[in-house]
């Protein structure tokens, strides 16, 4: 190791998107390596609206590996972080920074400690796969810092060991996590089906439930499903393989009707196997916190209302306008076939879920706010003036649920991980290697 | 036909129990004959608390077949009634009533019209398989009136054509509906696994949700599941055959732990295949009546609260105390392993679901009220004084839901159909053959 001893800090900052599965991952065949029981397919969300930014730094002045998430120091001692750090270090290459006069040989990386600072541009509590974006970003940034030569797909297999769905965040657009066959997990990795420009008509609207609920542990849930659900095996072996091929075809052909049908069906089947678990998941995730059960009931209610709104509208049209998908987190994700459908969807969502009177519209619709303008909604008065959707005709509209949704995010399919060169986005002090 | 022409009325009155499935029936392989995709197993409920009483009458003075349900005339023109009437008439035998001086030859039955009056001793709206009890009672009473020689199992195959689960109400105790293989449905019938005395420790408590909701059409739901659920086939072909054998074994050995595990798992799996249906059932049963969606949300909430209460308690004990099972109707059925467990269950239910202040306890706990006494609850003050169940320890108890339950029914496994000789229970006027 050369350079001005003990003084230099070498840093890299990266940004990685989150992703939402349209063919769901639920159930591991190997808990340690995080190998799934079936393939899954996801859409990467635009990092402009939802992403993790991570700065990783190495310096001979660091005493130990440390990490800060959203400004708060967290432990790196868990297996998942350790697995990722070990795998990346094992692949490190020679690095030379001429500007700083730093030269690090491959073998030196084992001795260098790391500082890591990570920041989500969306609430962690929203359960929007923050751990997926976070672990993907960690692996991507470290690989850049340490000059790892492995391609994106191989990096995805490392990120997978940090958080299963993280592997899908190594690519933009439409991504498949191939379950693989090998016992060592080497072939369980992500591949890109199509980039984000392939199908840029799609608009994604996310409803986040007003709930302070933390992301529930999917590890425990998955284990219980694998152990007790008699339907999961059939889903993994018979249903998903066929459905994955159909979904790939739908994406390739930008066939929204098939995409919508498969997305909704797979979301519902995922919840079905959770219900087929003993005791059923989502009712019982955390029995010691009864307050959660109440939130879960609210969430379930939001899900069923959104299913009802979407199904009614789709049926009244010649061809599906919107697809829905729900993960374990307190949010609902909807795909609109195009901008026009997104505008009409947003009108419906605002009609059924108006903001609580205190909220202003600007903090109620996040992300791509231009859809709000297209929808003819400029202020709270316009929300109140929205007519009932024509498809409900003379029927009593669903009870309006003011305040049930915390906010909406309007977004679109987005790009994969990138390095950031803008110094304002660097999260660690370049001199001390501590959070700014 | 002999006798005082045009004057006589020949009548029979019968009482038939309802039943609750512990291995669920969901999905038909033949909609017309009502042939199921899998075997099912049920427990017959004590007719003292839940039953249908039916009087059937024949007279040369009747102009047409007519029926009254709970005092209100209803149409007999539906296929299901017509199938039952046709099948029973085809099997009629010679009848002689010496007291009345009436002689009816086998062939005469085709010409005689029938009057039928039926009455449920429980609210039809509660969805407690009233059509099962009703059709079973119709078939049983007509078979007696017309001197049909077929045994109970053959009668069950006729009742099945009126309402699938009706076939299981032809027996008391523990009953299996064998799905059969024949295309004509002759071997799709009920058999008794054990009578009601075999396992008389069991106590059954039913929570009826405060909802004016009608029983939803299971025919449509089943059809949609058969057409769209990729999990149903696996359930029917792989899961239920094994589970049925295990349940038969559990019943034979009065093995409550297995009985409870299988009952809860099958209830959850039934709801799982409903969720795996496109669009998912229970969210969407009747989209034109949005008010229903709200009731369904309430119902779902009751289900999840009861699952939570039962699972927590079972886990805190060495062995399961209670099993739960939910049908499509707005009620939850619980089995307690014995009277002591039932007492403790009732205390828990009253703690979490106290009656709304207006209700008096006497109309809140129906059926076998002696369990209320065992539970040390004599009045509303005792309900308010109930301590939180010990298994929740220091945790915040679930929010109490006053008024969410309309009433509870305490009952037990009960006997099969019987003829009633008590004249006060006859529903038709013996002179006119019209409802009393």
Rounded distance between C-alpha atoms, residue B130 and residue B137, angstroms: 10
Question: ipTM of this model?
Answer: 0.88
CB contact under 8 A, B311 and A279: yes
CB contact under 8 A, B290 and A264: no
Interface of A with B in 273-302 (CB under 8 A): 273, 275-280, 283-284, 287-291, 293-294, 296-297, 300-301
CB B240 within 8 A of CB B26: no
How much of chain A is in helix, strand and coil states, percent to nearest 5?
A: 40, 25, 40
| Residue A394 pLDDT grade (very low, low, confident, very high; cuts 50, 70, 90) | low
Mapped onto helix, strand or coil, the DSSP state of residue B428 is strand
Neighbours of B423 (CB within 10 A): 8
- CA–chain centroid gap for B435, Å, is 25
Q: How far is A137 from chain B (nearest CA, A)?
A: 34
A25 phi, psi to nearest 5 deg: -95, 115
Interface of A with B in 109-168 (CB under 8 A): none
Nearest to B101 by CA among B3, B6, B8: B3
CB contact under 8 A, B275 and A271: yes
Set out the domains of chain A in order of their start, with CATH numbers: 10-196+421-425 (3.30.230.10), 203-411 (3.30.70.890)
CB B283 within 8 A of CB A272: no
Burial of B294 (0-12, 13-18, 19+ CB in 10 A): middle
The pLDDT assigned to B129 comes to: 64
| Residue B318 pLDDT grade (very low, low, confident, very high; cuts 50, 70, 90) | confident
> Cβ contacts of residue A265 below 8 Å, gap of 6+?
A243, B228, B276, B278
Distance set, CA B164 to CA A13, A262, B28, B41, B226 (Å): 65, 32, 9, 12, 16
Encoded tokens for A233? 């095996």
What 8-state DSSP symbol labels residue A428?
Answer: B
> Cβ contacts of residue A152 below 8 Å, gap of 6+?
A170, A171, A190, A416
Q: Has residue A5 got a pLDDT over 80?
A: no
| Residue B297 pLDDT grade (very low, low, confident, very high; cuts 50, 70, 90) | low
Place of tokens 């529903």: B427
Burial of A390 (0-12, 13-18, 19+ CB in 10 A): exposed
CB contact under 8 A, B288 and A234: no
Q: How far apart are the first and last CA of chain A?
A: 27
Q: Has residue B185 got a pLDDT over 90?
A: yes
A124 phi, psi to nearest 5 deg: -60, -35
| Residue A209 pLDDT grade (very low, low, confident, very high; cuts 50, 70, 90) | confident
Mapped onto helix, strand or coil, the DSSP state of residue A118 is strand
For the stretch B60-109, pLDDT in tens is 999 999 999 999 999 999 999 999 999 999 999 999 999 889 999 999 99
Among the ranges given (A28-37, B21-30, B220-229), the one the predictor scored with the smallest mean pLDDT: B220-229
Interface of A with B in 191-230 (CB under 8 A): 228, 230
| Residue A291 pLDDT grade (very low, low, confident, very high; cuts 50, 70, 90) | very low
CB A23 within 8 A of CB A40: yes
Mapped onto helix, strand or coil, the DSSP state of residue A86 is helix
Q: Has residue B379 got a pLDDT over 90?
A: no
Burial of B339 (0-12, 13-18, 19+ CB in 10 A): middle
Can the peptide bond before residue A385 be classed as cis, meaning omega within 30 degrees of 0? Answer: no
| Residue B287 pLDDT grade (very low, low, confident, very high; cuts 50, 70, 90) | very low
CB contact under 8 A, A287 and B231: no
Q: Which residue of A has its CA nearest to B307?
A: A283
CB contact under 8 A, A300 and B305: no
Q: How far is A20 from chain B (nearest CA, A)?
A: 20
Interface of A with B in 306-345 (CB under 8 A): 307-308, 311-312
Best A298, A304, A310 member to test B by mutation, with max B CBs in 10 Å, is: A304
For the stretch B406-426, pLDDT in tens is 899 999 999 999 999 999 999
> Cβ contacts of residue A318 below 8 Å, gap of 6+?
none
Encoded tokens for B115? 């009057």
CB B27 within 8 A of CB B225: yes
The pLDDT assigned to B331 comes to: 83
Q: How far is B387 from chain A (nearest CA, A)?
A: 17
Burial of B238 (0-12, 13-18, 19+ CB in 10 A): middle
Distance set, CA A22 to CA A226, A261, A306, A337 (Å): 20, 10, 17, 15
Question: Nearest Cβ partner of A311 from B279, B304, B305?
Answer: B279
Mean pLDDT, rounded, for B193-211: 91
Mapped onto helix, strand or coil, the DSSP state of residue A405 is strand
CB contact under 8 A, B228 and A265: yes
- B315 CB neighbours in chain A (<8 A) are 287
- A278 CB neighbours in chain B (<8 A) are 261, 264-265, 268
Q: Which of A429-433, B205-209, B218-222 has the highest mean pLDDT?
A: A429-433
Rounded distance between C-alpha atoms, residue A324 and residue B362, angstroms: 46
What 8-state DSSP symbol labels residue A210?
Answer: S
CB B159 within 8 A of CB B81: no
Nearest to B19 by CA among B409, B415, B408, B410: B415
| Residue B214 pLDDT grade (very low, low, confident, very high; cuts 50, 70, 90) | very low
Encoded tokens for B113? 């019209």
For the stretch A304-345, pLDDT in tens is 889 989 998 999 998 999 999 998 777 899 999 999 999 999
CB contact under 8 A, A301 and B297: yes
Neighbours of A228 (CB within 10 A): 17
Q: How far is B244 from chain A (nearest CA, A)?
A: 14
Distance set, CA B324 to CA B21, B267, B268, B315 (Å): 11, 8, 9, 14
The pLDDT assigned to A327 comes to: 85
For the stretch A34-50, pLDDT in tens is 999 999 999 999 999 99
Best A280, A289, A309, A320 member to test B by mutation, with max B CBs in 10 Å, is: A280
For the stretch A107-123, pLDDT in tens is 999 999 999 999 998 76
CB contact under 8 A, B296 and A304: yes
Nearest to B382 by CA among B412, B360, B408, B363: B360
Question: Nearest Cβ partner of A275 from B268, B315, B395?
Answer: B268
Best A38, A237, A275, A299 member to test B by mutation, with max B CBs in 10 Å, is: A275
Q: How far is A417 from chain B (nearest CA, A)?
A: 35
Q: Has residue B393 got a pLDDT over 80?
A: no
* Strand pairing report for A322-326 and A331-336: antiparallel
Encoded tokens for B260? 């409870």
Say if B305 is an interface residue toward chain A (CB within 8 Å). yes
Neighbours of B145 (CB within 10 A): 24
Q: How far is B6 from chain A (nearest CA, A)?
A: 52
CB contact under 8 A, B396 and A239: no
Place of tokens 């309802």: B18
Nearest to B399 by CA among A317, A267, A293: A293
CB contact under 8 A, B304 and A296: yes
Provide the Cα torsion B283, B289, B292, B293; round to 10°.
40
Encoded tokens for B300? 């779902």
Mapped onto helix, strand or coil, the DSSP state of residue B175 is strand
Nearest to A275 by CA among B271, B74, B297: B271
Best B26, B272, B277, B389 member to test A by mutation, with max A CBs in 10 Å, is: B272
A190 phi, psi to nearest 5 deg: -95, 145
The pLDDT assigned to B199 comes to: 98
Rounded distance between C-alpha atoms, residue B70 and residue A203, angstroms: 54
Q: Tell me the sheet residues that pair with B191.
A: B176
B407 phi, psi to nearest 5 deg: -165, 165
Rounded distance between C-alpha atoms, residue A17 and residue A174, angstroms: 12
Encoded tokens for A109? 């990386």
What 8-state DSSP symbol labels residue A417?
Answer: -
Place of tokens 């039928």: B116
Best B38, B227, B231, B267 member to test A by mutation, with max A CBs in 10 Å, is: B231
Among the ranges given (A419-423, B181-185, B285-289), the one the predictor scored with the smallest mean pLDDT: B285-289
Rounded distance between C-alpha atoms, residue B60 and residue B113, angstroms: 7
Interface of A with B in 345-404 (CB under 8 A): 392, 395-399
How confident is the prediction for chain A on average, in pLDDT? 90
Rounded distance between C-alpha atoms, residue B53 and residue A260, angstroms: 50
CB contact under 8 A, A264 and B271: no
How much of chain B is in helix, strand and coil states, percent to nearest 5?
A: 40, 25, 40
B10 phi, psi to nearest 5 deg: -100, 130
Q: Has residue B388 got a pLDDT over 50?
A: yes
| Residue B285 pLDDT grade (very low, low, confident, very high; cuts 50, 70, 90) | very low
Rounded distance between C-alpha atoms, residue A59 and residue A56, angstroms: 10
CB A151 within 8 A of CB A14: no
The pLDDT assigned to B124 comes to: 62
CB A177 within 8 A of CB A190: yes
The pLDDT assigned to B42 comes to: 98
Distance set, CA B191 to CA B180, B194, B197 (Å): 12, 9, 16
- A261 CB neighbours in chain B (<8 A) are 278
Encoded tokens for B359? 């209700």
CB contact under 8 A, A275 and B277: no
What 8-state DSSP symbol labels residue B434?
Answer: S
Nearest to B20 by CA among B226, B272, B294, B208: B208
| Residue B242 pLDDT grade (very low, low, confident, very high; cuts 50, 70, 90) | very high
Q: Has residue A125 got a pLDDT over 70?
A: no
CB contact under 8 A, A279 and B307: yes
Q: What percent of chain A has pLDDT over 70?
A: 89
Best A245, A261, A284, A290 member to test B by mutation, with max B CBs in 10 Å, is: A290
Rounded distance between C-alpha atoms, residue A65 and residue A399, angstroms: 52
Mapped onto helix, strand or coil, the DSSP state of residue A271 is helix
CB contact under 8 A, A293 and B238: no
Residue with more model confidence, B399 or B221: B221
Cα angle for residues A285, A286, A287 (degrees, 5° grid):
115
- How big is chain B, counted in residues? 436
Radius of gyration of the CA atoms of chain B, in A: 22
Encoded tokens for A232? 């999961």
Place of tokens 């409900």: A392
């Amino acid at each position: 190791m050369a350079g001005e001893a003990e003084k230099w800090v070498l840093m890299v900052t990266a940004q990685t998107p989150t992703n939402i599965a349209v063919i769901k991952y639920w159930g591991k065949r190997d808990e340690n390596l995080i190998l799934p029981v079936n393939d899954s397919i996801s859409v990467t969300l635009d990092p402009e609206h939802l992403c993790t930014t991570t700065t990783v730094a190495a310096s001979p002045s660091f005493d130990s590996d440390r990490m800060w998430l959203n400004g708060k120091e967290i432990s790196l001692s868990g297996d998942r972080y350790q697995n990722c750090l070990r795998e990346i270090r094992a692949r490190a290459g020679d690095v030379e920074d001429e500007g700083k006069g730093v030269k690090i040989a491959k073998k030196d990386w084992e001795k260098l400690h790391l500082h890591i600072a990570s920041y989500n541009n969306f609430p962690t509590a929203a359960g929007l796969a923050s751990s997926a974006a976070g672990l993907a970003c960690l692996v991507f940034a470290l690989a850049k810092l340490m000059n790892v030569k492995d391609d994106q797909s191989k990096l995805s297999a490392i990120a997978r060991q940090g958080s299963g769905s993280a592997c899908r965040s190594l690519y933009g657009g439409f991504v498949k996590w191939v379950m693989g066959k090998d016992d060592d997990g080497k072939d369980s990795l992500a591949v890109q089906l199509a980039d984000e420009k392939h199908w840029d008509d799609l608009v994604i609207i996310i409803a986040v439930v007003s709930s302070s609920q933390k992301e529930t542990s999917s590890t425990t849930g998955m284990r219980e499903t694998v152990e007790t659900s008699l339907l999961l095996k059939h889903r993994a072996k018979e249903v998903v393989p066929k459905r994955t091929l159909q979904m790939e075809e739908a994406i390739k052909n930008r066939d929204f009707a098939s995409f919508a049908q498969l997305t909704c069906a797979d979301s519902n089947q995922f919840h079905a196997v959770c219900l087929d678990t003993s005791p059923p998941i989502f009712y019982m995730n955390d029995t010691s916190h009864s307050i959660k059960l109440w939130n879960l009931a609210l969430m379930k209610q939001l899900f069923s209302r959104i299913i009802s709104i979407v199904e009614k509208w789709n049926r009244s049209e010649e061809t599906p306008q919107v697809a829905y998908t729900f993960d374990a987190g307190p949010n609902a994700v909807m795909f609109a076939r195009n901008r026009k459908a997104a505008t009409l969807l947003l009108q419906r969502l605002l009609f059924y879920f108006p903001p609580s009177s205190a909220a202003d519209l600007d903090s109620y619709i996040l992300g791509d706010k231009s859809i709000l303008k297209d929808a003819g909604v400029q202020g709270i008065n316009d929300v109140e003036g929205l007519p009932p959707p024509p498809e409900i005709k003379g029927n009593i509209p669903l009870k309006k649920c003011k305040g049930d949704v915390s906010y909406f995010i309007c977004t679109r399919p987005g790009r994969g991980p990138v390095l950031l060169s803008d110094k304002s986005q660097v999260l660690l002090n370049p001199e001390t290697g501590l959070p700014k």
